[in-house]
Amino acid sequence: MPLQYYGVGVHDHLDEARQLTVPMGFHLAEFDSYCPEEARNSIRKAFGDNDRVRLYDYAGVDHAFATHGRDVYEPLSAGLAYSRTLEVLHATIGPRHDLSALWDRHIFYEFEARDVPATMATMVDEPYVNHIPTLTGGVGQKDLARFYAHHFVHNNPDDTKTIPISRTVGADRIVEEQLFCFTHDREIDWMLPGVEPTGRYVEIPLVAVVTLRGDKLYNEHIYWDQAGVLVQIGLLNPDGLPVAGIEQGKKLLDKTLPSNELMPSWASSEGKPID
């Protein structure tokens, strides 16, 4: 099962490579002088119709972009290549962890059991969590355990609930879309740091991108629209601004609700031809 980073020399042996029937993966860098564009094109042409071969292109990177310690190392592309490599490996030789069940166990300990040691036990030795809108979370066991214990696990309102919308499971990560619901009856350090409780009820769409290493969580990137939260607790006046409050969640749950109501120019396109 060949997994080829950079594709150096492959174009000189395409006749032999075509005879292989095992799954293969190629990671091709845009600026790789050892596998220039002509060579990359020949690889694409040779394997483009082969459903057992995965061809991955990486824009803006050079040869050895995935090699730690090299000047050309590019961590974002390297991480993407790592995930794609795992996809090929897991499909053929495993291991095959139930990532969805592992994530469910983690959020059970966070939100239902509210058990910090059990939550941390679901994670790798050096995990990190980043709530993107507020820059809250932690890096490493010590800081993240402190964050969970004093600013998250016991910090959520009693009526907190989530309404699942979708979950996409990949080779080493999960993307979860949900509606996060709560009453702002206490200071919620991770979402509304420094904001005194308003007693307002909030529903906000939330997306979690979760990466796993083996059977442990490695990181969480959590996204939501902070303006939408501030509107719902009364700290942001939406008049004249292209922001929505609880309407975000309503529209997420009901696609038939009208679109484009924040777009003043929408009416002006009525009846115009579609080019």
> Mind listing the pLDDT tens digit for each residue in 151-160?
999 999 999 9
Residue 202, amino acid: V
Domain with CATH 3.10.450.50 in the chain: 99-253
Strand order of the β-sheet with 53-58 is 3-5, 24-29, 53-58
Instruction: Decide which of 1.10.10.10, 3.40.50.720, 3.10.450.50, 3.30.1330.20 is the CATH code for 99-253.
Output: 3.10.450.50
pTM here?
A: 0.79
- As a whole number of angstroms, the distance between CA 129 and CA 109 comes to 16
Pairwise CA distance, residues 48 & 40, whole Å: 11
pLDDT confidence bin for 1, thresholds 50/70/90: low
Nearest to 228 by CA among 246, 242, 240: 246
Q: What is the DSSP letter of 124?
A: E
Which two structure tokens, joined as six digits, stand for 45? 């042409």
Residues in the chain: 275
* Domain 3-92: top CATH class: alpha beta
Query: Are 56 and 81 in contact, with CB atoms under 8 Å apart?
Result: yes
- Quick: pLDDT tens for 3-56: 888 888 888 888 777 777 788 888 999 999 999 999 999 888 888 888 888 888
Above 80 in pLDDT, residue 161? yes
Q: In angstroms, what CA-CA distances link 89 with 83, 133, 166, 175, 246?
A: 10, 35, 26, 20, 43
CATH 3.40.50.1820, the chain: domain bounds = 3-92
The dihedral built from the CA positions of residue 110, 205, 242 and 246, taken in this order, carries a sign that is negative
**Residue 225 — very low, low, confident or very high, per pLDDT cuts 50/70/90?**
very high
* Tens-place pLDDT, residues 179-194: 999 999 999 999 999 9
